[in-house]
Amino acid sequence: MESFVIEGGRALYGTIKIQGSKNAALPILAASLLAEGIHQIDDVPRLLDIDVMVQILTRLGVDVKREQNTISLDTRTILSTVVPEELMSQMRSSIFLMGPLLARFHEVTVSKPGGCAIGERKIDLHIKGLKALGAKIEEVENHIICRADRLTGTTIVLDYPSVGATENIMMAATRADGETKIIHPAKEPEIVDLQNFLNMLGAKVSGAGTDMITIEGVKRLHSVPYYQIIPDRIVAATFMAAVGITGGKITLKNVIPAHLSKVIEYLHNVGIEIENDHDIMTIKRDNRRLKAVKKIITSPYPGFPTDMQAQFMVLLSIADGISTIEETVFDSRYKHVKQLISMGAKIEVDGRLATIYGVDHLFGREVVASDLRAGAALVLAGMAAEGKTTVHDIYHIDRGYEKLEETLQALGANIMRIKKM
Ligand code: UD1
C-alpha cells in the first residue's frame, strides 16, 4: 500500500501541462470496439482506471499497444463478448462496454459494476435505454446478459441526465436501424468528445452538449487513424483549487476555459485571480484570506461539478466566514468530511447539505482517502496544513491523477510517495 506524505505551508509556482481527460478517454476506448480496424488515440492519461479498461479490452481480444500517452487498438480480432467479472468489479466505467459490444456483436455479458464508493450508483437508465433500442436483458445472479439481433432507433427520454447512460445509448445507437433521439441527455464536455470520436468512426451523431442528441444509425463504421482526447477539466480545476489553498501563481497549459466556467466563477468569488489566453490559464492568489461563499450546489454540467465538491470544501474550510455546499448528484459524497474535521476543519453535514465554518488553519494528521476526489481533497488539505500529513490508500488518487506527486513537486510542494509494507 502506498501513501503520500506532505509537509504543508508551501506556496505553488510554475507551469504544468494538464493531462488528457479520464472521463473522455474511458468511453472513447470502449467506443473503438464499434468498428473493425486499427484506431489510434492520443493524450490518454496514464492512470489505474485506464489500465483496467486496457486489460478488459485485451481480454476481449483487442490488440492494444501503448506508447506513453498514445494507445493503438486493433479491434479486428474480438474473441469474447463477456467482460471479466474481476475487472468489471474494479471499475464502474466498464459498463460502457455494453453499448458498443451489443451494437457490433449483438450480445454482451457484464457483471454488476464496481468503482468509487460514492453512494448508490444505479444502472437502471443504461438498461432502460438499451431495452428501448430493442435489447433483451436478463439478470442471472451477478451477471447482466444482453442480446439484440437488431437494434432499432427510437426516442429515449432520460429521467436524469446520467453521463454514463447517455454515452452507452449514443454508442449502441450508432449501428441501429433508423434514428435515435436522446431527450434530456447529459451535456458534459466528455459527451461532446465522444460524439466527435463517433463521427470520426463514420457515425452520424449531432446535438451533444444540447438538450437533444440525434443519432442516425449507419451500417458500417471504420477505423480512426488519429484522435486526441480533450484536457481533463477536473484535474485542471484541482490544481486551480490547490493554488487557491496554498497561495502563489501557476500557469496551466492544455486547458479549455469554457469547460471550467462554473469553477472559475466560484474561484473568483472566494478571491482567486484567473486569467486565460486560449488554452493557457494563469491562477494567482495573494496573501489575503479567502472569502466564504453562501452556497455551492453541485449539479450536472454546466452546473458546478460534483467531482470538485471535495476539493472546494478544503478551500472553504480555511475561508473567512460560513459557506454551504449542497451535493445533489450523489447520495453519499461527504466521506472526506470526517478526515477534514480530524485536521481541524469545522464542518457539519445534514443529509445533502454541508455547512463549513472557516478556520484559520488546518493541522497535519494521518488521513485515509475513501475515493478519488476525496483523496485529492485530502492532498490539498495537507498542503494547506501546518506540519506533516499522511494520506493513506492513495490508489484511489492514482485512478484519476497522473503522477500527482511529481506534478505538485514541480510546482514546489513538499510531497512524497512512500510504500508501506
Ligand atoms: C460520471 C463520471 C463521474 C462523475 C459523474 C457525475 C465518468 C467515467 N465518470 O459518472 O466522474 O462524478 O459522471 O458528473 O465519466 N444514476 C441513476 N441511474 C443510472 C445512472 C446514474 O440513478 O442508470 C444516478 C447515479 O446514481 C448518480 C447520478 O445518476 O446519483 C449521476 O450518475 P452519472 O451521471 O451516471 O455518473 P457516471 O456516468 O457514473
Domain containing 137 equals 22-228
Reported confidence tier of residue 121, pLDDT bands at 50, 70, 90: low
Closest-CA residue, ligand 1 atom 19, reads 123
Interval 137-154 mean pLDDT: 92
> Per-residue pLDDT for 115 more than 70?
no
Residues 155 and 217 in one domain: yes
Written as one string, the DSSP assignment of 311-373 is: HHHHHHHTSBSEEEEEE-S-SS--THHHHHHHTT-EEEEETTEEEEE--S--B--EEE--SHH
Spacing, Cα 330 to ligand 1 middle (Å): 8
Strand partners, 309: none
The ligand 1 atom nearest the CA atom of 188: 14
Please give the model's pTM, rounded to 2 decimal places. Answer: 0.96
The residue whose CA is least distant from atom 4 of ligand 1 is 307
Question: 128 in helix, strand or coil?
Answer: helix
User: Is-contact 377 313, C-beta < 8 A?
Assistant: yes
What is the C-alpha to C-alpha distance for residues 40 and 200, in angstroms, rounded to an integer?
Answer: 12
Q: Over pLDDT 90: what percentage of the chain?
A: 89
Tell me if residue 116 is catalytic: yes
State pLDDT tens for residues 388-407: 999 999 999 999 999 999 99
Measured from the Cα of 24, ligand 1's closest atom is 15
Binning pLDDT at 50, 70 and 90, where does residue 119 land?
low
- Same domain flag for 268 and 224: no
Same domain, residue pair 210 and 235: no
Q: What is the rounded average pLDDT for all residues in the chain?
A: 95
Ligand 1 atom closest to residue 162's alpha carbon, by position in its atom list: 34
Q: What is the pLDDT of residue 331?
A: 86
Please tell me the total count of domains within the chain: 2
- Can you name the residues that pair with 248 across neighbouring β-strands? 12, 285
Average pLDDT over residues 169-198: 98
CA distances from 90 to 2, 191, 368 (A): 18, 23, 19
* pLDDT for the residue numbered 20: 98
Distance in Å, CA 122 to ligand 1 centroid: 8
Residue 62, all three cell numbers: 483487442
Residue 19: pLDDT over 70? yes
Which of 178, 211, 228 is the endpoint of a domain?
228
Residue 343, all three cell numbers: 485536521
Report how far ligand 1's centroid is from the alpha carbon of 188 (Å): 11
The C-alpha cell that represents 392 in the structure block: 493513506
Asked if 185 and 273 sit in the same domain, the reply is: no
Same domain, 83 and 199: yes
Q: Which residue, among 76, 45, 49, 72, has the nearest Cα to 60 in the 3D structure?
A: 76
Question: At a CB cut-off of 8 Å and minimum separation 6, what does 223 contact?
Answer: 35, 36, 37, 38, 39, 201
Tell whether omega for the bond before 302 is within 30 degrees of 0, i.e. cis.
yes
Sign of the Cα pseudo-torsion (52, 71, 301, 191, in order):
negative
Pair 235, 311: CB distance under 8 Å: no
Asked which of 228, 256, 276 is the last residue of a domain, the reply is: 228
Do 273 and 405 fall into the same domain?
Answer: yes
The dihedral through the CA atoms of 122, 56, 147, 149 has a sign that is positive
Residues 6+ apart with CB under 8 A from 172: 98, 99, 100, 102, 103, 129, 130, 133, 135, 151
Catalytic residue from among 12, 18, 56, 116: 116
Higher pLDDT, 62 or 96: 62
Residue predicted with more confidence, 310 or 96: 310
Side-chain half-sphere exposure of 17, counting CA atoms within 13 A: 6
The preferred substitution site among 163, 169, 238, 329 for testing ligand 1, maximizing ligand atoms within 8 Å of CB, is 163
**Do 204 and 61 sit in the same domain of this protein?**
yes
Query: Do 29 and 129 fall within a single domain?
Result: yes
Ligand 1 atom closest to Cα of residue 125? 23
Mean pLDDT, range 156-160, rounded to an integer = 97
Distance between CA atoms of residues 189 and 278, nearest Å = 17
pLDDT of residue 141: 83
CATH number at residue 160: 3.65.10.10
Q: Which of 148-152, 167-171, 199-203, 287-291 has the lowest mean pLDDT?
A: 287-291
- Mean pLDDT over residues 256-273, rounded? 96
Q: Do 224 and 235 belong together in one domain?
A: no
- Please, is 89 exposed, middle or buried when counting C-beta atoms within 10 Å of its C-beta (0-12, 13-18, 19+)? middle
Identify the band that residue 271 occupies on the pLDDT scale cut at 50, 70 and 90: very high
Ligand 1 center to residue 162 CA distance, Å? 5
User: Residue 170: CB partners within 8 Å, gap ≥ 6?
Assistant: 99, 182, 191, 194, 195, 198, 205, 208, 213, 215
pLDDT band at 381 (very low <50, low <70, confident <90, very high): very high
**Which of 112, 309, 329 for mutating ligand 1's site (highest number of atoms within 8 Å of CB)?**
329
Q: Are residues 33 and 82 in the same domain?
A: yes
Backbone angles phi, psi at 112, to 5 degrees: -65, 135
Residue with the nearest Cα to atom 39 of ligand 1?
164
Question: Domain boundary at 228, 263, 291, which?
Answer: 228
**How close is the Cα of 234 to the center of ligand 1, in Å?**
15
pLDDT at residue 242 tops 90? yes
Q: What is the mean pLDDT of residues 29-54?
A: 96
Q: Which of 51, 52, 76, 53 is nearest to 63 (CA)?
A: 76
The answer to whether residues 44 and 7 belong to one domain is: no
Closest ligand 1 atom to residue 234 Cα is 11
* CA 300 to ligand 1: nearest atom: 14
- Beta bridge partners, 144, equal 110, 139
Dist. CA 181 → ligand 1 center (Å) = 20
Q: How far is CA 419 from the centre of its chain?
A: 26
More confident residue, 122 or 117: 122
By alpha-carbon position, which residue is closest to atom 38 of ligand 1?
A: 164
Per-residue pLDDT at 148: 95
> For residue 92, what pLDDT band results from cuts at 50, 70 and 90?
confident
Cβ(400)–Cβ(374) under 8 Å? Answer: no
| Protein residue with least CA distance to atom 28, ligand 1 | 329
What is the pLDDT, as a whole number, of residue 88?
85
Which residues' Cβ are closer than 6 Å to ligand 1? 23, 26, 92-93, 120-126, 160, 162-165, 186, 190, 306-307, 329-330
- Average pLDDT in the 350-367 region? 97
> pLDDT band at 118, cuts 50/70/90?
very low
Residues 11 and 58 placed together within one structural domain of the fold: no
Please compute the mean of the pLDDT values over residues 309-337 and round it to a whole number: 95
Furthest CA-CA distance within the chain? 64
- Cβ(351)–Cβ(375) below 8 Å: no
Closest protein CA for atom 15 of ligand 1: 23
Of 31-45, 100-114, 131-145, which one has max mean pLDDT?
A: 31-45
Q: What is the pLDDT of residues 344-356, one digit of tens each?
A: 999 999 999 999 9
